[in-house]
């Protein structure tokens, strides 16, 4: 269940740097009011560039950000079982062998990331290994392998590229209108810069809600993958085990989209959540959906 937020956080940072740079270099000045075709082409190139850069950085950022120890030569029986289980599931799913790692966290959690379904990273927390039975861990691993096999990171990258495009496009149109630029007249460029940056921030938040909604839908699919690659009972029990975790801290916000945890909260938190509530996921598996 870690399909995005190191990705989303990286994407936001890349887009912020790009937006400020394009304004300071005067690129926006060349796209005056009324030049909608040129502006949209610019937004399309910039939007997908930011998304693809974030996608390409996702695995290395995850390793550094989470402090993942990649298992190259298993140091003990647990590491050997973990690696062999992921390799077996990857073969069942028809993808290349992922890198397998462990990160230090007392909370049960796991994530999958990577630009290529045949070159992904599957990592679990020390807390997951300590608090779950092996059949439950196996189901969680199947869930993450399912994310990799379904190409969820790549799909999310494409979705985010489209969202970036429209955020850039409409933010600049709003800035042009606020700056008084119309019919080829550029208006007040400073007002344009400030308003378009503010609009990009607000529209970026709204776009993140759409990305989060898409991520929530993919969690149900990954749960079914975990049930198929391990067992349905194991997947259900793993989710119930997560429910029993008291006040889970989960992954950092930058990795939340690909972690195993989910939860409820305020309306804003629900809209921004990359995971459905655990009880909904359990109910879907019990109903065979």
Active site residues: 144
C-beta of residue 143 within 8 angstroms of C-beta of residue 275: no
Sign (positive/negative) of CA torsion 228, 232, 235, 238? Answer: negative
As a whole number of angstroms, the distance between CA 86 and CA 97 comes to 8
* Beta strands 119-125 and 99-103, pairing class: parallel
Mind giving me the DSSP string for the chain?
-BSSHHHHHHHHHHHHHHHHHHHHTTTGGGS-TT-HHHHHHHHHHHHHHHHHHHHHHHHHHHHHHHT-EE-SS-SSHHHHHHHHHHHHHHHHHT-PPPEEEEE--SS--EEEEEEETTEEEEEEEHHHHHHS-HHHHHHHHHHHHHHHHTTHHHHHHHHHHHHHHHHHHHHHHHHHHHTT-BTTB---HHHHHHHHHHHHHHHHHHHHHHHHHHHHHHHHHHHHHHHHHT-HHHHHHHHHHHHHSSS---S-GGGTTBSS-----SHHHHHH-SS--HHHHHHHHHTT-
């Amino acid at each position: 269940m870690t399909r995005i937020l190191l990705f989303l956080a990286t994407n936001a940072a890349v887009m912020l740097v790009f937006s400020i740079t394009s304004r300071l270099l005067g690129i926006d000045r060349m796209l005056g009011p009324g030049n909608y075709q040129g502006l949209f082409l610019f937004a399309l190139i910039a939007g997908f560039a930011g998304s693809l850069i974030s996608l390409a950085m996702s695995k290395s950022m995850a390793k550094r950000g989470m402090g993942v120890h990649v298992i190259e030569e298993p140091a003990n029986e647990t590491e050997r079982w973990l690696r062999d289980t992921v390799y077996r599931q990857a073969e069942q799913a028809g993808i290349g062998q992922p890198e397998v790692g462990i990160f230090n966290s007392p909370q049960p959690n796991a994530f999958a990331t990577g630009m290529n379904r045949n070159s992904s990273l599957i990592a679990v927390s020390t807390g997951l290994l300590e608090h779950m039975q092996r059949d439950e861990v196996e189901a969680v691993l199947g869930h993450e392998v399912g994310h990799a096999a379904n190409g969820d990171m790549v799909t999310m990258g494409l979705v985010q590229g489209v969202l970036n495009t429209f955020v850039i496009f409409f933010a600049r149109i709003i800035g042009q209108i606020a700056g008084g630029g119309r019919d080829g007249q550029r208006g007040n460029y400073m007002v344009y810069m400030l308003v378009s940056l503010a609009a990009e921030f607000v529209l970026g938040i709204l776009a993140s809600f759409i990305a989060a909604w898409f991520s929530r839908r993919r969690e149900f699919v990954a749960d079914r993958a975990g049930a198929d690659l391990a067992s349905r009972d194991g997947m259900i029990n793993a989710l119930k085990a997560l429910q029993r975790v008291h006040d889970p801290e989960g992954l950092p916000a930058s990795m939340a989209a690909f972690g195993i945890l989910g939860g409820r909260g305020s309306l804003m938190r629900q809209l921004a959540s990359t995971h459905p509530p655990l009880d909904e996921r359990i109910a879907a598996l019990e109903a065979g959906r």
